[in-house]
Amino acid sequence: MSKVFRRTFRVRWCEVDRTGQVGIANHLRYLVEAAWDWGATGGLGVDDVDTLGQIWVIRETEVSILRSLRYNDVFDFTIWMLRWRRVRGTRAFELKHRVTGEIIALGAQEVACLDAQTLRPTTPPPYLDEHFRLDNPPVIPQRRFPRVPSPPRAAFVMELQVEAQDVDLSDIVNNAVYAAYAEDVAARALAATGWTPQRFKSQGLAVVTRRFHIQYQAPAVWGDRLSIVTYQLELGKSGGVRYVAVQHAPEGTGIIECVMDWSLVDRLSGEEQPLPDSLAHALEAELAIPS
């Protein structure tokens, strides 16, 4: 058994978005699939954890996209443990194109072990160390989640209700679904400025996420009403940094927060393009003012 686990994926047609690329939500789905397969090699697969009366929850994920994945791309997903302390640890991962050897994406994810009945932190079985801990693990650069200023008046807000397809076997909204919510609200915020997905496509442009950093605060379940707010934290010549928060409506308790570094690119070449003046001016109104 290798403490560094590798699995090969092929991008399916149903996994690419309207720009022909794999979105953040599906990157997170690849991560969870690889993580469970990795766990199964050391007695911590789905069935093993269920037998132990434990559940594993994701606290934070950070992923940087260096190259877009497209239909039929074949890539190796490598995952390993960076560190583990009592009930919480961090796993690192890297996606590499099988043919070209290019690094597609990399990142880290913090997880915690909970008792399935009490939902309180609990210590995983002692063989976790034996099977998964590395003495000198390859290090992935990580950033602290930023302190976020209060929303400007022009912040974009939408509401939705959690649907059955959003919920996984744990009866809570799956971690990857929040990334889909974030990508959707970002697209809707852009559309509110007049820049719909169709307009971007007609001009040969696409918005791509370069980096996605999310913190999970509390679960949401089927039927919950959610309020999602988004606004710009930074704005540059060809993109910016967008903040998204998901809360329970109407009480406003936090569920997730995330930041998305994004760029405007040529739809075919992938090269960054300057923001059109009308889009740049509209997004300036969304900018948060640092306190």
Cα(58)–Cα(170) distance, integer angstroms: 12
CATH number of 143-291: 3.10.129.10
pLDDT in tens, 100-144: 999 999 999 999 999 989 989 999 998 888 899 999 999 999 999
Q: What is the pTM of this model?
A: 0.95
pLDDT in tens, 37-78: 999 999 999 999 999 999 999 999 999 999 999 999 999 999
State the span(s) of the chain assigned CATH 3.10.129.10. Answer: 1-142, 143-291
Cα(212)–Cα(203) distance, integer angstroms: 26
Residues 6+ apart with CB under 8 A from 11: 22, 69, 70, 71, 72, 73, 74, 75
pLDDT computed for residue 119 by the predictor: 87
Confidence tier at 214 by pLDDT (50, 70, 90): very high
Contact 13, 69 (CB under 8 A): no
pLDDT in tens, 113-125: 999 899 899 999 9
> Alpha carbon of 166 to those of 16, 131, 173, 220: distances in Å?
18, 33, 5, 10
Tokens in use for 184?
């959707």
- In a 10 Å sphere around its CB, with 0-12 CB exposed, 13-18 middle and 19+ buried, how is residue 240 labelled? buried
Tokens in use for 273?
């393009």
Class of domain 1-142: alpha beta
Cα(229)–Cα(160) distance, integer angstroms: 11
Side chain identity at residue 223, one-letter code:
G
pLDDT computed for residue 291 by the predictor: 59
Query: Which ranges of the chain does DSSP label H, i.e. alpha helix?
Result: 24-40, 46-52, 127-132, 175-192, 197-202, 277-284
pLDDT in tens, 231-240: 999 999 999 9
Mean pLDDT over 257-262 rounds to: 98
pLDDT in tens, 139-174: 999 999 999 999 998 899 999 999 999 999 889 999
pLDDT computed for residue 112 by the predictor: 95
Between 1-5, 49-53, 179-183, the lowest mean confidence (pLDDT) is in 1-5
Does residue 1 surpass a pLDDT of 60?
no
Mean pLDDT of the chain: 94
